[in-house]
Structure 1
Amino acid sequence: MDHARTRAKESRARKLRRAELLLIGAGVAATLIAAAYQYLGIRSTLESSTAASLYAQQQEIDRIFADNVDLQPYFWHREELPDASASGDPAARREAEQLAGRAEAAAHRILDHFAHLKYQMGTQAFTSERADWEAYMRRSFADSLILCRALRDDREAFGGTGPDSLWGRYAEEPCRGT
């Protein structure tokens, strides 16, 4: 009789232990599922925030060209800036120098934007529309001698010339010969 009671107690203890383990397993599974949903939500929020920041920067650049229409040919049609030293007229020379200064400032603002884009894509914080942004950067270099020269002259500030730099990834081929 004692033997039967002992076996019954052991059987109940095993069943209780199994039930406890199942409950613990279910709790762990529920926690992992909740963590995965939280991760996806955080990731989505981060990507949305990053995209908003990048689009705001792009709007600033668009505003530069809306406010300075005379800069457009040097960034969109691969035109050369006028040579200030070629003019004998001091007023024309000053105007050409001012145009070159505004174009250089715009080029560096665009390069900063591109460096930020590249950084965000490198951290995997911004993955949607990556191919579109990369094509935009390559096309921008292909369309602008001033942008190519600004990066060429200041490559070290933008990651050097390696294959993962702005120059190596987006500018080397379209800027060849500038």
Structure 2
Amino acid sequence: MTTMYAALLRGINVGGARKLPMADLRTLMQGLGHHDVRTYLQSGQAVFSSTHGDEESLAAELAGAIAQRFGFDVDVLVRDHAYLKTVAEACPFPAADLQPKQLHVTYFSAPVEAERFADVDRPAHLPEEFRLGDRALYLYVPDGLGRSKLAETLSKPRFTKGLVATSRNWNTVVKLVEMTGP
């Protein structure tokens, strides 16, 4: 059975480092036997269809191919359409009423327990907030990510230790659902 997926690459084409042209990424993914390969923006999103593998094996295969071809390691998460749609629909914040720059999702490689974030002083960061979902963290930042003290706090390695974590703004979350959909 053919399934549509999104590959989320962490930290490429940022600040001139770890350059990975999207045309080259598409060619690489097609060479791995994937179909319907399309990329979105330059910051590391690709959608594709595949008849083989699961999310973890597809991510490992793509990360290995990128390392071999481009000479640097990249964390990769692969998620299918059903998961992406569920994450978007489960948003605990009123996404339709917010500007897309105010809402972000961090996707994790595994489930994350609330205890991991127990020492975050949530009241001190208000009106900024975060909530956990299924292998995801929803972040509401009314003044945008660049000014967010909560985002700065949550980006500390202790919160993601042992995980692959990569964040996307709400526009990208919605676009990936559309691109992987029927």
Normalising TM by the smaller chain, what interval? under 0.3
Name the larger-Rg structure.
Answer: 1
Q: Which has the higher strand share?
A: 2
Q: Which has the higher helix share?
A: 1
Which structure has more relative contact order (CA 8 Å, sep 6+)? It is 2
